[in-house]
Amino acid sequence: MSLYKVTIIGSGNWGSVVAKLAAVNTLKYPSLFDYKVYLYVYEEIVEGQKLSEIINTTHVNVKYLKGHILPDNIVAIPDLFKACVGSDILVFVLPIQFIPNVCYQLRYRVKKTAIAMTMIKGFNVEDGRLSLISNTIRRELNVPCAALMGANIAEGVIREEFCEATIGCNDLQHSEIFKKLFETKYFRIRCVPDEETVEMCGALKNVIALAAGLVDGSRAGSQNTKATIIRLGFVEMIEFCKRYFPNTRLETFFESCAIADLIASSYGGRNRKVAEYFANEPEKTLAELEEEMLQGQKLQGPITAANIYSILERESEVEKFPIFRAVHLTMIKKIPVSEFMLCVQNHPQHSIL
């Protein structure tokens, strides 16, 4: 049997961490995987050097994961096609806004037998309707696509702190391959046959993390308040998934991709952090805060919040999801941060006997 060639598409902090996980396991399973892991790097100049060359010579992603040594079997390649040619496993770990162009460039150029995985926490809206990133990958590349989501803040995983992730994959054989590619003694994985819910939870929790950050930054309440926002947000996540994906499995919400990721993101993570500063510094735009705090990386939460709002508004369902609504309107400055809590205090949950 030929060995699986692996490409990680995206070299931000999480993409670099994922490349490390894969690189460790390609060496662990030499009869299954090609030992090299190819990392597509959007070329940038850092201190006068090309980022891809820095990674290949020092084994450090000095732009997005400074201070951490990556395995030397990771090969950084700044050309998308060269990074992906002949690959059997394509792992997408890049900002959602780049997916259409990346898929367009790879169309008709990937192996017909390839399999894909998305770790992108977001979704698109096409013709007013929700469209999963995995669906875009399947449609454009004509390959099956699973999803991996979980309570996996990059800084903790690169330090090898114990955590979990969830793989949503409806093909048992592919689940086994992905599990061997990414699981380690500190990064444990559960596989569930519920691709859509796993992927959606990864997107929706970012919006609730923004809500948690707004509460923290505005000092609108105690930990009691924040816990209430998280619980109500969790309910909205479940209701949104059930509304648009009728085959959603309730038990999936108790996996790492949902409840655990929601908790982790609401107390750590970039969406919560930036939202806290957003509440404290109303004179600054979201773009300015992203540039200052994220070294040019983009938040996925505000994009997801806008997409949720557009879908719900189109179907006249906005009022049934007060937290999703309030987060979007606050982040685009249609309502002041001081009014955020007023928008959620009469939540439909509280009218249920």
Can you say whether residue 144 is alpha, beta or left, with left for phi > 0 and alpha for psi between -120 and 50 degrees? Answer: beta
> Are 111 and 166 members of one domain?
yes
334 is a catalytic site residue: no
pLDDT tens digits, one per residue of 240-288: 999 999 999 999 999 999 999 999 999 998 999 999 999 998 888 888 9
Instruction: Give the pLDDT score at 127.
Output: 87
β-pair type (49-50, 45-46): antiparallel
How far is it, in rounded angstroms, from Cα 272 to Cα 281?
14
CATH number at residue 215: 1.10.1040.10
* Other CB atoms within 10 A of residue 262 CB: 24
Which of the following is catalytic: 205, 242, 273, 320? 205
Q: How many residues does the chain have?
A: 353
Q: Which of 183, 209, 49 is nearest to 121 (CA)?
A: 209
Instruction: Give the pLDDT score at 175.
Output: 98
> Are 273 and 162 members of one domain?
no
Q: Which domain range does residue 68 map to?
A: 4-193
Binding site for NAD(+), by residue number, is 10-15, 98, 154, 270, 298, 300
How many folded domains does the chain comprise?
A: 2
> Are 164 and 204 members of one domain?
no
Instruction: Give the pLDDT score at 296.
Output: 66
Domain end among 138, 162, 193: 193
Binding site, by residue number, is 10-15, 98, 121, 154, 270-271, 298, 300
Could you tell me the two tokens for 253?
Answer: 């919400």
> Are 164 and 152 members of one domain?
yes
> Are 188 and 231 members of one domain?
no
At 140, which helix (H) or strand (E)? helix 133-141
Q: Which of 115, 116, 135 is nearest to 124 (CA)?
A: 135
pLDDT tens, position by position, for the chain (353 residues)? 699 999 999 999 999 999 999 999 999 999 999 999 999 999 999 989 999 999 999 999 999 999 999 999 999 999 999 999 999 999 999 999 999 999 999 999 999 999 999 999 999 998 889 999 999 999 999 999 999 999 999 999 999 999 999 999 999 999 999 999 999 999 999 999 999 999 999 999 999 999 999 999 988 777 899 999 999 999 999 999 999 999 999 999 999 999 999 999 999 989 999 999 999 988 888 889 988 998 767 789 999 999 999 999 999 999 999 999 999 999 999 999 989 998 888 898 988 76
Scanning the chain, the segments in alpha helix (DSSP H) are 13-28, 51-58, 80-84, 99-106, 133-141, 154-158, 172-182, 195-218, 223-244, 261-267, 270-280, 286-294, 301-314, 322-331, 340-344
Q: Is 125 helix (H, G, I), strand (E, B) or coil?
A: strand
Binding site for substrate, by residue number, is 121, 270-271
Domain end among 193, 225, 255: 193
Domain end among 171, 193, 215: 193
Place of tokens 């150029």: 109
* Other CB atoms within 10 A of residue 208 CB: 29
Instruction: Provide Rg for the chain, Cα atoms.
Output: 20
> Are 137 and 188 members of one domain?
yes
How far is it, in rounded angstroms, from Cα 11 to Cα 226?
33
> Are 298 and 248 members of one domain?
yes
> Are 249 and 276 members of one domain?
yes
Q: Which of 246, 235, 242 is nearest to 208 (CA)?
A: 235
pLDDT tens digits, one per residue of 283-322: 888 889 988 998 767 789 999 999 999 999 999 999 999 9
> Are 174 and 78 members of one domain?
yes
